[in-house]
Structure 1
């Protein structure tokens, strides 16, 4: 491997690490704001309500109704969107938010490796969707995009649409994905996805309550941020002295397959 290639791969890892650290810092600031708001509430309930509203996003979708589970969803409470064969000996669990910059960094770095291993029957992937950025930055793009991805799952086209959303991710501060029209427009990049049932599913927010339930599972699990990525239950980012690379991930999965 040339020095240039090694430097490029190291830079990709460094960017992913930096994005995760920034995400953790934003999460920490948000928790501090909420705690501070609770204290201020002693002096003025109105101030508390205003600050909490500012940190909870402005999505107006009703997430309290019956839960419409996407076709093929699996796992506990059917909150997992699976990819790959059940016979695969290694399982990669991924918690993601479509507005999360660190998630995009992870996907851009590992997408081809994950998809290849899944296609070969070496790896089963369990996708879980969260709406962390809506709470941190305001807006509804995380929810709207996750609902649209669930609608794509109904059509059997989640993997391709999932990839399109991350490839076209807007800046974190822009709530571009809060526009259902934009999500439908991007679906045009997936062959055969834009149909009347898909468009209705997106516009109606059919899976909003399911997304809300998935995000609650993320919160209840007390995960530190997105992306959270576990290989057979263990964080792939746990060894800072030997950081993850696409080659290392492939070897870990292949080793599990041979065992």
Structure 2
């Protein structure tokens, strides 16, 4: 092979090698751009999520802005308890509930008459504490609005009666009917003397909304698994599969005698 041909082939190989290096470099740049774009998209999504979360938190804060106004007669830590029954009763039943919660309604249906019998007899003190977990799970504001309305009823000494009306007229869990203040006011008509201008104003203004929020926060911090959470002298009896109204009555009466 002549020197000229060898030089030509060497030059061609060199050109091919250079071209391959260019292609490798271009491919590397392309992969870098793709990865970089992907990272930007992820970071962008995170930023969007962060902004949405921040704005959501801001909106929630704005909606619940204002002083925490506890309903009349509320007591306990931060005045988050609505008490029913004699203060000196030897047994205390703490009931964490959500007015949109079907299991809470089931508990009420089963135990209501027994609880009222024992509180009327001075043997049991019931402490109602309000949560809003269904709003969080299903969306809407019915848990919160109903809790505020119940607190408004407490202001005029009609919590128990209105509490029962709310459960007796509870909508399906996915139906945020209690998010409509007009519905809550309509139901107040079932409680004699409750549907007054003062009550309507309390409901419509969300007078106790911040108090409800604080109660919901206390529920979350308490580490409870759901509503209802029912504690008899600090012991969770709702988790006791053997518990019945008769057994509850027996335990309370034994404590009263002791």
Question: Which interval holds the TM-score relative to the shorter structure?
Answer: 0.7 to 0.9
Structure 1 residues 258 and 53, CA, compared in 2 at 3 Å: closer, same or farther?
farther
**Residue in 1 that maps onto 2:82:** 81
Q: Say which one has the larger Rg.
A: 2
Structure 1 residues 194 and 59, CA, compared in 2 at 3 Å: closer, same or farther?
farther
**Residue in 1 that maps onto 2:243:** 244
Which range is displaced more, 44-53 or 116-125?
44-53
Distance 1:190 1:125 in 2: 21
Q: Deviation digits for residues 153-178 of structure 1, max 9, x if unmatched?
A: 00100000001001100000000000
Instruction: Please report how far the alpha carbon of residue 245 of structure 1 lies from its aligned counterpart in structure 2 after TM superposition.
Output: 0.8
**Counterparts of residues 164-203 of structure 1 (less than 5 Å):** 164-203=165-204
**Which is helix-richer, 1 or 2?**
2
| Structural RMSD (CA) | 2.2
Q: Contact conserved, 2:228 with 2:238, CA < 8 A, in 1?
A: no
**Counterparts of residues 33-182 of structure 1 (less than 5 Å):** 43-47=45-49, 62-182=63-183
Q: Deviation digits for residues 10-40 of structure 1, max 9, x if unmatched?
A: xxxxxxxxxxxxxxxxxxxxxxxxxxxxxx8
Q: Contact conserved, 1:151 with 1:202, CA < 8 A, in 2?
A: yes
Q: Does 1:258 align with 2:245?
A: no
Distance 1:41 1:70 in 2: 46
Instruction: Please report how far the alpha carbon of residue 87 of structure 1 lies from its aligned counterpart in structure 2 after TM superposition.
Output: 1.6
Q: Deviation digits for residues 31-73 of structure 1, max 9, x if unmatched?
A: xxxxxxxxx878533356668999x9x9897213111110000
Q: What secondary structure does 2:63 align onto?
A: coil
Q: What secondary structure does 1:44 align onto?
A: helix
Structure 1 residues 237 and 50, CA, compared in 2 at 3 Å: closer, same or farther?
same
**Counterparts of residues 210-225 of structure 1 (less than 5 Å):** 210-225=211-226
Q: Deviation digits for residues 203-233 of structure 1, max 9, x if unmatched?
A: 1000000000000000111111100000000
After TM superposition, the score normalised by the length of structure 2 is: 0.78
Q: Contact conserved, 1:94 with 1:127, CA < 8 A, in 2?
A: yes
Distance 1:220 1:85 in 2: 28
**Counterparts of residues 7-22 of structure 1 (less than 5 Å):** none
Q: Where in structure 1 are there 5+ consecutive unaligned residues? A: 1-39
Q: Deviation digits for residues 119-176 of structure 1, max 9, x if unmatched?
A: 1111000000011000100000000000000000001000000010011000000000
Q: Contact conserved, 1:132 with 1:142, CA < 8 A, in 2?
A: yes
Q: Where in structure 2 are there 5+ consecutive unaligned residues? A: 1-41
Q: Contact conserved, 2:148 with 2:208, CA < 8 A, in 1?
A: yes
Instruction: Please report how far the alpha carbon of residue 244 of structure 1 lies from its aligned counterpart in structure 2 after TM superposition.
Output: 1.0
Distance 1:95 1:159 in 2: 15
Structure 1 residues 244 and 170, CA, compared in 2 at 3 Å: closer, same or farther?
same
